[in-house]
Amino acid sequence: MDWLQGFFLHPVSLYQGAAFPFALLFNYLCVLDSFSTHARYLFLLAGGGALALAAMGSFAVLVLTPALWAAVLIAWLGPRDVHRWAFFFQMSWQTLCHLGLHYTEYYLQERASTRFCITLSSLMLLTQRVTSLSLDICEGKVKAASRGIRERSSLSDHLCKALPYFSYLLFFPALLGGPLCSFQKFQARVQRSSNLCPRHSVWALSWRGLQILGLECLKVVLGKVVSAGAGLTDCGQLQCIRVMWSTAGLFKLTYYSCWILDDALLHAAGFGPGFGQSPGEEGYIPDADIWTLETTHRISLFTRKWNQSTARWLRRLVFQHGRAWPLLQTFAFSAWWHGLHPGQVFGFLCWALMVEADYLIHTFARSFIRSWPMQLLYRTLTWAHTQLIIAYIMLAVEARSLSSLWLLCNSYNSVFPLVYCILLFLLGKRKHTFN
């Protein structure tokens, strides 16, 4: 089963762990007055370049090149044009790289190299930072340096003005993972001395380390259970539901562990909670809200809390600007951003339908369910159904072959999203009639 490949070997986590000493060193150097702002930008940029070469090898050029061009576009173009051109260039470059992955996997029928997969993941994160910064400039949240760049001055002046942008796009704590950090937060952190209490830092990092250890232990136990049991190829009827739920549980544990590690690296470098927050700006948003994700009975809430910083980025980039069917546009763009694999296209479009059905179902239920025993029963049933639908979507999105996707769709597991699709049709028709 291709879903189980690569669960227990995560090179990205190894490289993130190797970057911890340098993150702590940067945090310590920020206390020193002799460590100037330009030196801090250069330290983060050099660390990003070194980490890219170590993790990606020769493929690092696929990340360094668009970062350089994005910095040039952001520093040169005016606020009105910068977002359109930066978005077009970045998504075009990323799509070409994803097409290379499609060519390798579907045409040549070969597994892509680990370094190339790391490169694509880093490139997706770079797209977040590029578009976030260009939107900030377009909306006036960040002052563009285009006027200063166009003035006649020395090459060193041009490089100094472009350095903050280039450093932001490649700073090593967020190069391979982590929640999206805004340019305002990044700039404020670099320009401000470190004032983090050592005891608080040690406690916060220790707590994250314990969480990662607990998640990894659970992942080992669940992995043995999944490996010892039947797969979707040979499961029988209702047994396929257990296979789907347990396999999706492995995916969740893997994501949670990676997100907490990424969060710990940012915290070690000083980009965690409480740093660089501007007035009126939303606070630090960790990607993993495990309690909410595992206890919610609403797919819409799960969607907002799953990989929170990316969800908010998609909402700002696509949903808020969509005129017709903004929810569908958002999930369609998410499938494009992830690479447009068949399972991703199917999974994200299914996810959009499930969120739309979730809104109608819970709105309808609030009007009729009054007593607390019925509310408790309703929440229990919808929680189980939500977790099963999310498991179904997760396996679809992670499927890397049409045969795996077909096995999933042809199993009993398809009943759960089908129920929501039927309710979406019936309640949507009822709502239209009422209107």
Q: Is the pLDDT of residue 58 over 90?
A: yes
- The domain in which residue 284 lies consists of 202-433
Q: Residues 170, 64: contact at Cβ < 8 Å?
A: yes
Task: Mark which of 141, 162, 191 sits at the end of a domain.
Answer: 191
Q: Which of 135, 164, 191 is the last residue of a domain?
A: 191
Q: Do 208 and 167 share a structural domain?
A: no
Residues annotated as part of the active site: 307, 338
Instruction: Retrieve residue 310's tokens.
Output: 């990316």
Residue 150: per-residue pLDDT = 52
pLDDT at 154: 61
- pLDDT score at 2: 45
Q: What is the pLDDT of residue 288?
A: 84
Same domain for 130 and 249? Answer: no
pLDDT for position 196: 54
243 and 177 inside one domain: no
Domain closes at, from 191, 225, 247: 191
SS (HEC) of 345-388: HHHHHHHHHHHHHHHHHHHHHHHHCCCHHHHHHHHHHHHHHHHH
Nearest to 24, CA basis, from 163, 161, 204, 288: 204
403 and 338 inside one domain: yes
User: Residue 66's CB: how many other CB atoms inside 10 A?
Assistant: 23
Residue 172 resides in a domain: yes
Report the mean per-residue pLDDT for the chain.
86
pLDDT tens profile 361-413: 998 888 888 888 899 999 999 999 999 999 999 999 998 888 889 989 988 89
Domain count, the chain: 2
Whether the pLDDT of residue 114 is over 60: the answer is yes
Is residue 197 in some structural domain? no
Going by pLDDT thresholds of 50, 70 and 90, the confidence category of residue 431 is: low
For residues 323 and 179, state if they share a domain.
no
Average pLDDT over residues 232-243: 81
On whether both 160 and 251 belong to a single domain, the answer is: no
In a domain, 316, yes or no: yes
Q: 185 and 223, same structural domain?
A: no
**pLDDT tens digits along 6-35:** 444 467 888 988 899 999 999 888 888 778
24 occurs within a structural domain: yes
Based on the fold, state whether residues 206 and 173 are members of the same structural domain: no
- Check whether residue 252 and residue 310 sit in a common domain: yes
* Mean pLDDT, range 132-148, rounded to an integer: 80
Name the band, by pLDDT with cuts 50, 70 and 90, for residue 174.
very high
Shared domain for 57 and 140, answered yes or no, is yes
pLDDT of residue 75: 79
State the pLDDT confidence band at 200, using cuts at 50, 70 and 90: low
Residue 102 burial (C-beta neighbours within 10 Å; 0-12, 13-18, 19+) = middle
Looking at residue 4, what is its pLDDT? 43
Whether 196 maps to a domain, the answer reads no
The verdict on 207 and 170 lying in the same domain is no
Residues 256 and 158 in one domain: no
